[in-house]
Amino acid sequence: MKVGFVGLGAMGSGMARNLIKAGHNVTVYNRTRSRADELKPDGAIVADTAAQAASGAEAVFTMLADDHALEEITFGAGKLLESLPAGSVHLSASTISVRLSRRLTAAHRERGQHYLAAPVFGRPDAAAAAKLFVVAAGPQSQIERCQPLFSAIGQRTFVAGAEPPMANVVKLAGNFLITTIIEGLAESFALARKSEVDPGQMLEILTGSLFPAPIYKNYGAMVAHEKFEPVGFKLKLGAKDNRLVLSAAEEAGVPMPIASLVRDQFLAAMAQGMAEDDWAAVSKVVYKNAGL
Amino acid sequence: MKVGFVGLGAMGSGMARNLIKAGHNVTVYNRTRSRADELKPDGAIVADTAAQAASGAEAVFTMLADDHALEEITFGAGKLLESLPAGSVHLSASTISVRLSRRLTAAHRERGQHYLAAPVFGRPDAAAAAKLFVVAAGPQSQIERCQPLFSAIGQRTFVAGAEPPMANVVKLAGNFLITTIIEGLAESFALARKSEVDPGQMLEILTGSLFPAPIYKNYGAMVAHEKFEPVGFKLKLGAKDNRLVLSAAEEAGVPMPIASLVRDQFLAAMAQGMAEDDWAAVSKVVYKNAGL
Amino acid sequence: MKVGFVGLGAMGSGMARNLIKAGHNVTVYNRTRSRADELKPDGAIVADTAAQAASGAEAVFTMLADDHALEEITFGAGKLLESLPAGSVHLSASTISVRLSRRLTAAHRERGQHYLAAPVFGRPDAAAAAKLFVVAAGPQSQIERCQPLFSAIGQRTFVAGAEPPMANVVKLAGNFLITTIIEGLAESFALARKSEVDPGQMLEILTGSLFPAPIYKNYGAMVAHEKFEPVGFKLKLGAKDNRLVLSAAEEAGVPMPIASLVRDQFLAAMAQGMAEDDWAAVSKVVYKNAGL
Amino acid sequence: MKVGFVGLGAMGSGMARNLIKAGHNVTVYNRTRSRADELKPDGAIVADTAAQAASGAEAVFTMLADDHALEEITFGAGKLLESLPAGSVHLSASTISVRLSRRLTAAHRERGQHYLAAPVFGRPDAAAAAKLFVVAAGPQSQIERCQPLFSAIGQRTFVAGAEPPMANVVKLAGNFLITTIIEGLAESFALARKSEVDPGQMLEILTGSLFPAPIYKNYGAMVAHEKFEPVGFKLKLGAKDNRLVLSAAEEAGVPMPIASLVRDQFLAAMAQGMAEDDWAAVSKVVYKNAGL
């Protein structure tokens, strides 16, 4: 397929590379051009604008930092929305707000284009290894049409529903659940440490019994040993996703007390200079409040 | 080994039966005698008091509802503490407070007896199938001595540390983490339902990607479909364990904001008549507050 | 002075009337024209647009429902910002976001106009009686220039600082403190009621001893007796102000845990159909959760 | 009247002195005898034990640090409960648990004695100046009988109900409301400070408009200027009262989310070494979390 790919950060460059490997014809765009040029040896064509990457494409992926970045390249004269051919499909893979996903659904429909929300679960190493989990939502026919693309970047594709924003809800819920794990572990290990229980020993017990999932092992190791390097996912981005889930909850009329609590922990972490740390470093706020 | 077993509830009777099966000589006691008599065909000797079950035993298990029940049969003239032979070991398997565990540590030491905290992870079906996880703490020599007993009731024994209360801390932390999962899922599914995402579909995505652990599957199914039968662990007991973790945190000087939040959810659930329901039914409080 | 007044809701019409009474020359505008016409007998000139009310004015008040309403009449071709004469002053009296106040500060400065934030404390009866408290912020010279206007609508003018958004911060903090009182009272009276303490008696004790302020008496009476009529301030507007204080806190990097908690209570109240009730009705959420 | 007075701390010594001044015949007891001897010049008789202070008294006040201290001098062979003459009345003025108040109600009734809960609002300076607010509960006849005593120590007596624990509920609710004020102010001033609003100016506005009560002025000045000296009420005692209100709420089946939140703030403050500071210093936790 002829594919455009916009946004070549830690996640996007791995995904684009895997699309090329799978034999697709990929035109890439990134604001900082050097990141796009790095994909040339793999066979990527480099576009000067996002719109150019979209024009002539059957499908265009966007994988950008936040709502604002996506809005900037999408809406307005000569932007992506105007450049995408009728009948083509926009695959929004980044974590964006439910509200923007709703707006994109309407905007593409109006122009006779297609739109799928296709956020992914997984860190940059999973993106590089084509091991992402893709959570797609939108018209069934478009999901089927794009399945080869999803298969090129991920280990499994899930369908969240027929309306694109449904995938965004699921993605935000998933990220929210990770924050409950981090905060829950932080409180548990603060208790352990002040009770003279060895954190490593407690981690082994918890992950060897009730909580054997990798997610508990990975975050547990970070929290138990206060090792937050290398940075997998920046705290300020975690705070942004928390903001998105709270916005979605507000629009849907749902109180989410743990999400509210996590919001304040992230704010405290950022106020104390941890915005660029891994989001698991939010546990330091818990530790400090416990006098550790 | 000559073993006493006090407390034959849903958990205790399975554990006692497995000790008998493993070839140990088991004397049982239960306040409601009929539950003890049920173990006679398996080969149990039935005692008239907890003290009698302890007298002459090399090891005595206690598996009782709460601190109060354990204190009642342990302290005072002619009770378990006075009846246990010097050199014998008390294995406290129920979820009790860190404070009581500390008191038992001192009381048994004073009488030349041994004491291990050996709380377990697992529901009644795991107890019946000898699939519990045993979290033991206390002197290494005693843990080794009792390993055959732990092997008879569980699939794996973990050592939490050299001081018995350390095992109680780990057990309370584990139960606390389960409550964070339940509450986190409830908030997520409230959001999903009010966003018209199919709860079953979201559950499949979450447990098929980032959260494949059985604990997410089990509680996820309960919360997503509001199916809280059969009752695996009563909400009022969950509230008790939450109280215990908050007490331990208070004594250790650790703020645990999610635990505090869960406390209020349990209180709301009980105020609305759910004390005897499965503790996952606490999610109904989240749903009601969302107008569901 | 020649004054424009935009926004004639329950608060604005009282304020405009008092400006007329004080001898000012007042041109009013309201989206629903009938509310403007009602002020004709008092001597108001009725404008067809907000811009028209501003053109030729020395000072123009805006008293609108929310940020959106203010943005709509202010920005864009032929709107208030373009119509206000150079040297004139815009007095923004409604509760708006710190962010919008910052934007207005810059926008008016650029056009050689002046801008003061001048939010007020007080309910519609205080607006009618010229008993508002005015919290002004901006250049000292402009505050002095507008003092006759503030004196016409309020019992006292406070200066919050030299930058307009400072008044918005103080206003939002004040409204936030009211929500802490409502929620605090609700929790207290839930405890009283379930402890068989007579709510009326407790109210008398609390307001007769430590909490004699009218605000405790008024909200205390509403909460204790569950009497939320007549509606003084709609719950959905309270929820909006809570949102504004949380946004301001987020931008400033300040965790506000009670504000977060109140957010969830307001969401629960609205999910249960109380959006149009008085904001003190949020206490019903507390009562329901207590099984009352 | 012939009065016993047990507990001569900062509050108790002022109260006892005022009872003497009013012409009552007062026998005092304090664990540290020197504090009792200081009252001799005023006319106090000094007893060797609490029981001795109670024996022969028509009324005995207790004003002790916590439940434990009161239990110690009350229950057991030769203690206050056994020594108080039949028909005499025990006036429990300290802040104790609802549960202990219930136990005392039953215990005194059984012995043909009377019992009133009579906690007080006010700091040591109010105790010295006979300006306390007395919140009494119990049989009307006993309250009338003791009115002269209450009038000697306070500016006003309130009746909370016919069952003594009702006064304890009201007292705990009152102290809880003070903590909501402190925490609410701390969050507000954290926002102000990080928004460059002058804290002193904001305090003047808030207390000059909606919040003119002395309690806002006093705590507002402490929080705004971070001046927590002299220590009026120790943070660790505030934490104890918070614990008591949460216990009462738990027994009554009432979720109190702000009280839970305040609990964690107090724990954080104590973990950071502020146990002996004024309880308003809990605002430092809020400030630290905001990076101030």
**Residue pLDDT, tens place only, C115-154:** 999 999 998 999 999 999 999 999 999 999 999 999 999 9
**CB-closest option in A243, A256, A267 to C255:** A267
Among chain D residues, the shortest Cα distance to A187 is held by D264
The Cβ of residue A250 has, within 10 Å, a number of other Cβ atoms equal to 18
CA distance B180 to B242: 11
Q: Which two tokens stand for residue D215?
A: 């309690």
The angle, 0 to 180 degrees and rounded to 10, between the axes of the packed helices C235-252 and C98-110 is 70
Q: Which one of 1.10.3720.10, 3.40.50.720, 3.40.50.800, 3.30.70.20 gives the CATH number of domain A2-163? A: 3.40.50.720
With an 8 Å Cβ cutoff, is D231 touching chain C? no
Q: pLDDT-based confidence at A169, cuts 50/70/90?
A: very high
Task: Catalogue the active-site residues of A.
Answer: 171
| CB atoms A243 and C260 under 8 Å | no
Of C250, C261, C267, the CB nearest to A250: C267
Q: Does A173 touch chain B (CB under 8 A)?
A: yes
Nearest to A156 among B208, B249, B252 (CB): B208
List of long-range contacts for A148-151, beta carbons under 8 Å, 24+ apart = A148/A1, A148/A22, A148/A24, A149/A1, A149/A3, A149/A19, A149/A22, A149/A24, A149/A59, A149/A61, A149/A91, A150/A118, A151/A22
CB burial readout D124-133, b (16+ within 10 A) else e: bebbbebbbb
Which of D131, D163, D140, D149 is CA-nearest to residue D91? D149
Asked if the Cβ–Cβ distance from C291 to B272 is below 8 Å, we say yes
Closest Cα in chain D, distance from residue A47 (Å): 43
**What would the pLDDT profile of D79-124 be if each residue is shown by its tens digit?**
999 999 999 999 999 999 999 999 999 999 999 999 999 999 998 9
Those chains having 3 or more beta-carbon pairs within 8 angstroms of chain B are: A, C, D
- Collect all residues of chain A within an 8 Å Cβ-Cβ radius of residue C250: 243, 267
Rounded to a whole number, what is the distance in Å from the CA of A50 to chain B's nearest CA?
31
Instruction: Give the pLDDT confidence score for residue C257 in this predicted structure.
Output: 98
What residues of chain C lie within 8 A of the CB of B272, using their CB?
289, 291
Q: Which CATH superfamily is domain C169-289 in?
A: N-(1-d-carboxylethyl)-l-norvaline Dehydrogenase; domain 2 (1.10.1040.10)
**What is the pLDDT, as a whole number, of residue B151?**
98
Hey, is the C-beta of C255 within 8 angstroms of any chain A C-beta? yes
Instruction: Determine whether D230 is exposed, middle or buried from the number of CB atoms within 10 Å of its CB (0-12, 13-18, 19+).
Output: exposed
Residue C22 is predicted with a pLDDT of 97
Please report residues of C whose CB lies closer than 8 A to that of B291.
268, 271-273
The DSSP H or E segment spanning B157 is: strand B154-161
CA dihedral (D16, D21, D22, D26) positive or negative: positive
Q: How many CB pairs under 8 A join A and C?
A: 41
**Residue C250's closest chain A neighbor by CA?**
A267
- For residue D253, the chain B residues in CB contact (below 8 A) are 267, 270-271
User: Do residues D159 and D183 touch, judged by C-beta distance below 8 A?
Assistant: no
Across the C:D interface, residue pairs with CB atoms under 8 Å apart total: 208
Quick check: A272 contacting D, CB < 8 Å? Answer: yes
CB pairs under 8 A between A and D: 28
Rounded average pLDDT over A250-270: 98
Mean pLDDT by 10 residues, chain C (292 residues): 96 98 98 96 97 97 96 96 97 97 98 98 95 98 98 98 98 98 98 98 97 95 96 94 98 98 98 97 98 97
CA–CA distances in Å: residue D181 to residues B142, C76, D175, D210, D216: 53, 43, 10, 13, 7
- C159 at interface of D, judged by CB pairs closer than 8 A: yes
Supply the pLDDT for residue B38: 97
DSSP label at residue D280? G
Contact: D253, C194; criterion CB under 8 Å: yes
Average pLDDT along chain B: 97
Could you name the CATH architecture of C2-162? 3-Layer(aba) Sandwich (3.40)
Residue D234 forms beta bridges with which residues? D278
Whole-number pLDDT of residue D212: 93
Q: Which member of D40, D171, D284, D288 is catalytic?
A: D171
Q: Where are the beta strands (DSSP E) in C42-175?
A: 45-46, 59-62, 89-92, 114-117, 120-121, 132-137, 154-161
The whole-number pLDDT of residue C97 equals 97
Measured between beta carbons, the chain B residues lying within 8 angstroms of C186 are none
CA distance A98 to A96: 7
Residue A151 DSSP class: H
Cβ contact C259–D187 (<8 Å): yes
Residue D197 to chain C, least CA–CA distance (Å): 6
- Nearest Cα residue to D220 out of D200, D245, D241: D200
Asked if the Cβ–Cβ distance from B268 to C291 is below 8 Å, we say yes
Q: What is the pTM of this model?
A: 0.96
Identify the closest residue of chain A to D284 by CA–CA distance. Answer: A289
Main-chain dihedrals φ then ψ at residue C8, nearest 5 degrees: -115, 55
Contact B210 A185 (CB under 8 A): no
Which chains have at least 3 CB atom pairs separated by less than 8 Å from chain D? A, B, C
- Closest residue in A to B102 (Cα) is A195
The residues of chain A that CATH labels 3.40.50.720 are: 2-163
Count the helices and strands in chain A (H runs, E runs). Answer: 14, 9
- Write the CA distances from D114 to C217, D61, D78, D153, integer angstroms: 34, 12, 18, 20
Token couple for C10:
């329950």
Q: Name the residues of B annotated as catalytic.
A: 171
Q: Does D255 touch chain A if contact means CB atoms closer than 8 Å?
A: no
Instruction: Report pLDDT for C279.
Output: 97
Residue type, A53: A
Considering chain C, tell me which residue range(s) the CATH 3.40.50.720 domain(s) occupy: 2-162
CB contacts under 8 A, D 111-130 vs C, are 121
B95 neighbors B70 (Cβ within 8 angstroms): no
Q: Which of D166, D184, D255 sits opposite C180 (nearest CB)?
A: D184
Instruction: Sort out which chain D residues have CB atoms less than 8 A from B263's CB and list them.
Output: 255, 260
Query: Nearest-CA distance from A272 to chain D in Å?
Result: 5
C13-51 confidence digits (pLDDT tens)? 999 999 999 999 999 999 999 999 999 999 999 999 999
Whole-number Cα distances in Å, C193 to B227, C212, D136: 33, 21, 18
CB B187 within 8 A of CB B286: yes
Residue from the list A176, A197, A256 with its beta carbon closest to the beta carbon of B170: A197
Q: Flag whether residue A87 sits within 8 Å of chain D, measured between CB atoms.
A: no
The 3-state DSSP class for residue C139 equals coil
Q: B34: distance to nearest CA of chain D, Å?
A: 32
Single out the catalytic residue among C171, C194, C240, C288.
Answer: C171
Q: Does B275 touch chain C (CB under 8 A)?
A: no
Chain B contact present for C272, CB below 8 A: yes
* Assigned token pair, B142: 């005693």
Do residue D271 and residue A289 have CB atoms under 8 angstroms apart? Answer: yes
| Predicted confidence (pLDDT) per residue in D143-182, tens digit | 999 999 999 999 999 999 999 999 999 999 999 999 999 9
Strand duo B132-137 + B120-121: pairing: antiparallel
Q: How far apart are CA A91 and CA C20, in angstroms?
A: 58
Which chain D residues have a beta carbon less than 8 Å from that of A291?
268, 271-273
Per-residue pLDDT of chain B (292 residues; tens, 9 = 90+): 999 999 999 999 999 999 999 999 999 999 999 999 999 999 999 999 999 999 999 999 999 989 999 999 999 999 999 999 999 999 999 999 999 999 999 999 999 999 999 999 998 999 999 999 999 999 999 999 999 999 999 999 999 999 999 999 999 999 999 999 999 999 999 999 999 999 999 999 999 999 999 999 999 999 999 999 999 899 999 999 999 999 999 999 999 999 999 999 999 999 999 999 999 999 999 999 999 9
* From-to residues of CATH 1.10.1040.10 in chain D: 169-289
* Chain D interface, best mutation among B243, B262, B267, by max D CB count within 10 A: B267
- For residue B233 the two structure tokens come to 């662990």
- State whether residue B261 sits within 8 Å of chain D by CB: yes
Q: A258: which chain B residues are within 8 Å (Cβ-Cβ)?
A: 180, 183-184, 187, 258, 261
Q: Tell me which residue of D102, D111, D101, D116 sits closest to D80, measured CA to CA.
A: D111
Model confidence over A14-41: pLDDT tens digits? Answer: 999 999 999 999 999 999 999 999 999 9
Residue D194 pLDDT grade (very low, low, confident, very high; cuts 50, 70, 90): very high
Q: Give the tens place of pLDDT for each residue, A51-88.
A: 999 999 999 999 998 999 999 999 999 999 999 999 99
Looking at the complex, does the CB of residue D273 fall below 8 Å from at least one CB of chain C?
no
Residue C170 one-letter amino acid: V
Select the residue from D205, D217, D218 to test the C interface by mutation, using most C Cβ atoms within 10 A: D205
